[in-house]
Amino acid sequence: MTDTWSGPLEKIGESKYRIPKTYKPFMRVDGIIYADDILIGQIAKDKAPEQVANVASLPGIVGASLAMPDIHWGYGFCIGGVAATDPANGGVISPGGVGYDINCGVRLLRTNLTRADVEPILPVLIDGLFRDVPTGVGAGGKIKFNPKEIRQIMQHGPRWLVDHGYGWDEDIALCEALGRLDGADPDAVSQRAHARGYDQCGTLGSGNHFMEVQYVEQIFDQEIAKVYGLHKDQVTVLIHSGSRGLGYQVCDDYLREMREVPARYGIDLPDRQLVCAPVHSQEGKQYFAAMRAAANFAWGNRHMLAHLARQTFAHRFGKTPEQLGMHLLYDVAHNIAKMETHTVAGRQMSLCVHRKGATRAFPPGHAEVPDRYRAVGQPVLIPGDMGRASYVLAGLPGSMEQSFGSTCHGAGRQMSRSAAIKASAGRDIKKELAAVGVYARARGRTGLAEEQPDAYKDVNDVVRVVEKAGLSKRVARLRPLGVIKG
């Protein structure tokens, strides 16, 4: 979108703007955008705030229609959108509130290697990852699973993979939701979706998906970093991928199947991309079951990508992954809808929380934070662009008070892929990255151009906003050394 936003944006805090529900007659609640004076100008350059207002029309929505500082235009919901609906009050579930790449998310591996260990062999290491990890559109996995096994992954996620010799038990405990949403039903997933996903478990994909070797450039909170097992100059591996063709097809199928559902339930929407169904309806239950299956598949996919990364590092350094300390720090979802308990106006409620381009950020003491992290809060993984940095944050109590336990998910695009390609004409993005110390490999002809650093907001600005807002706090900044992309 190139149209700029011309509606109201009322500044209601250092890091918060409001679209009042009086803006449009269909709005049931206010829209809230987390941003500061630096980012709000960028955000208003497209009409993503209009999507924030549109989401405020959803039946059963509670609190506010929310957007994180990495907001940009999406399908139905903006990327960076958060909305919670109350099923007991007609609350709906919307495929556009999850997105096409169901459970696109990130997984971070720690190592006991340092920057000094890796830099002398960085090109060889990155070339090895590029060889061993399938990347690009339609790429099939190196480790094959038959259709029955894929059904098991859709039902059980990484647990099934660990039970069959891939990864470690601790990998399960350090996943959001233990890497599995109950109620997943492979039978709710179309045969077309099954066919698209059967050979894609353990594949990176294309677009903004990547595997990046990084080092810890700066520690902001020594106590939390120690609990997370992070220290300065330590090498980490960040994996960003999702449910691949399977999840895309699930979304596409249900957007089509639910086209007439709103009218069936008397739901009037300002944007047909917000097609939805009451959570407790047959249509809502069917989508939820398929979405959960795709989410479990995505956790399985990232689990297998981590397995491949461990194998490559082991081969290159002549040590086992255990000897290299390649432990999972955490795995979080970015595109998902989940039933969660939240307190609204002093009352505990079971809500359907949509996070589309947003990350769960539960605070210290929350029962769903793994035991080893509970005293300091859930790790929050925020990938930036290839040339600057990524962050590890920790969830804060303010996330539960303001945003249904949510925070940002990345830097957020400020340039479309086509505009990024146009802007890269006559340039060599690989050489530009090398000039700032990043060795990059990409399968596609336009992969690096589409994902060049200029295509994204500055992740440093984004995380500053969520920290000032009290949603999550900085723990460590991770600097890229090398990256592979589709």
Distance CA 325, CA 29 (A): 48
Nearest to 63 by CA among 311, 435, 402: 402
Distance CA 237, CA 232 (A): 15
Distance CA 56, CA 68 (A): 15
Nearest to 408 by CA among 337, 461, 353, 368: 461
Q: Hey, what are 395's tokens? A: 């969830």
Q: Helix (H, G, I), strand (E, B), or coil: what is residue 328? A: strand
Nearest to 80 by CA among 58, 63, 97: 97
DSSP 336: E
CA distances to 236, 237, 266, 272, 316 from 118, rounded to whole Å, are 11, 12, 60, 50, 10
Q: Is 231 a catalytic residue?
A: no
Distance CA 31, CA 52 (A): 6
Distance CA 328, CA 481 (A): 19
Candidate list 209, 307, 366, 409, residue with the active-site label:
409
- List the helix and strand counts (H, then E) for the chain: 17, 19
Q: Which residues are catalytic?
A: 409
